């Protein structure tokens, strides 16, 4: 799941530091401005040195150093990823991979302990949700108000950055819009729009189609699912999800995922009702620069 989410939301700038992916995107989203550590140096001194490099490169860009630390889906590794469990199956874990995953989470804990000693604070705990191909609803309808494009349009981008009243870049903030465009437009994507009665975009979503290197299957990541502030509470998120499911069944993906912050209780309820299950969690550790 870590590899899929890394590929599904490519940062504008990505560097490698001792096996870690260090992502920078001018501060737009934590996800695209944080460190993902698939492997962990063996010694504390090596970890300290890698963190020093991240902090220096973040300071050069006037960004707070931020690390994405992964956790098992439940409180303990054995409970969350026992052999034959739904979570272990979704992650594609074999018995050998279970041991590797246990070592992975131990490494994440070591890094977290080190960062906390340096004064980092935990923010934005997030769940990773997954749905297998066979669980995608085959009868999901495509509402006539939903449109889909393979490219990011100016209209979609403008509606996205102004979805909350008073939020998003100001009218003359061309630099922020350029960053949003590069970030949202990265990778192989589909952009869904839900139109209101006047033909304006009232909600949308980006779907990233990811085929990892060495794999013959494609997975889909649902990102940036949003509804305009004045249209919330009308079931538009469910309409967008149905359209996405309709499309993904025809694309024959092997499964799909999305990420949602724990505090977003309403969104979590919508996703769980749609059939998603939690397979992993992560949080960010960050420090003011």
pLDDT in tens, 16-55: 999 999 999 999 999 999 999 988 988 899 999 999 999 9
User: What's the confidence (pLDDT) of residue 99?
Assistant: 62
Residue 288 lies in a domain: no
| pLDDT in the model for residue 97 | 55
Sequence-distant (≥ 6) Cβ neighbours of residue 73 within 8 angstroms: 80, 81, 87, 127, 278, 279, 280, 281
pLDDT at residue 139 in the model:
84
Please indicate, yes or no, whether residues 107 and 46 belong to a single structural domain of this protein: yes
41-44 LR contacts (CB < 8 Å, sep 24+): 44/110, 44/114
Q: Identify the pLDDT of residue 250.
A: 87
Do 240 and 140 lie in one domain? The reply is yes
pLDDT value of residue 177: 85
Question: In which domain, by residue range, is 195 found?
Answer: 135-280
Residue 286: inside a domain, yes or no?
Answer: no
Q: Are 187 and 179 in contact (CB under 8 A)?
A: no
Q: Give residue-wise pLDDT tens across range 64-100.
A: 999 999 988 764 333 443 444 444 444 454 555 556 6
Task: Report the distance separating Cα 20 and Cα 16, nearest Å.
Answer: 5
18: in domain: yes
Q: Is residue 265 part of a domain?
A: yes
Same domain, 96 and 145: no
Q: In this structure, is residue 109 part of a structural domain?
A: yes
Asked whether residue 214 is assigned to any structural domain, the reply reads yes
Domain boundary among 109, 126, 143: 126
Which stretches of the chain score pLDDT less than 70?
74-100, 165-172, 289
CA distances from residue 270 to 236, 263, 283 in whole angstroms, order as listed: 11, 14, 21
**209 three-class SS:** strand
- pTM, 2 dp: 0.84
Instruction: Check residue 258 and give its pLDDT.
Output: 94
What was the pLDDT predicted at 83?
A: 43
Q: The CATH number of the domain where 156 resides is what? A: 3.40.630.30
159 and 272 inside one domain: yes
The single residue listed with the structure tokens 């550590």 is 37
CA distances from 268 to 178, 220, 263, 271, 273 (A): 30, 18, 9, 5, 8
* Number of domain units in the chain: 2
């Amino acid at each position: 799941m870590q590899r899929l989410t890394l590929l599904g939301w490519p940062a504008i700038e990505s560097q490698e530091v001792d096996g870690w992916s260090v992502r920078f995107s001018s501060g737009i989203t934590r996800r695209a401005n944080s460190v993902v550590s698939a492997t962990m140096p063996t010694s504390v001194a090596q970890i300290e040195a890698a963190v020093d490099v991240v902090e220096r490169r973040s300071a050069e860009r006037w960004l707070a150093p931020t690390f994405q630390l992964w956790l098992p889906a439940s409180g303990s590794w054995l409970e969350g990823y026992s052999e034959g469990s739904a979570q272990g199956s979704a992650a594609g874990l074999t018995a050998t991979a279970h041991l590797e995953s246990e070592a992975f989470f131990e490494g994440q804990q070591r890094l977290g302990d080190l960062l906390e000693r340096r004064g980092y604070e935990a923010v934005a705990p997030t769940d990773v949700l997954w749905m297998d191909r066979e669980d995608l609803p085959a009868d999901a309808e495509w509402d006539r108000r939903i449109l889909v494009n393979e490219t990011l349009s100016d209209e979609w981008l403008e509606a996205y950055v102004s979805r909350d009243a008073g939020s998003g870049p100001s009218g003359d903030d061309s630099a922020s819009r350029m960053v949003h465009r590069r970030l949202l437009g990265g990778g192989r994507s589909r952009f869904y729009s839900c139109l209101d009665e006047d033909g304006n975009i009232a909600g949308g979503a980006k779907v990233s189609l990811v085929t990892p290197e060495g794999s013959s299957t494609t997975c889909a990541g649902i990102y940036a699912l949003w509804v305009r502030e004045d249209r919330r509470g009308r079931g538009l998120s469910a309409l967008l999800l149905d359209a996405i499911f309709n499309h993904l069944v025809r694309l024959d993906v092997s499964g799909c995922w999305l990420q949602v912050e724990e505090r977003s209780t309403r969104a979590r309820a919508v996703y769980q009702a749609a059939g998603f299950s939690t397979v992993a969690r992560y949080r960010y550790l960050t420090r003011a620069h």
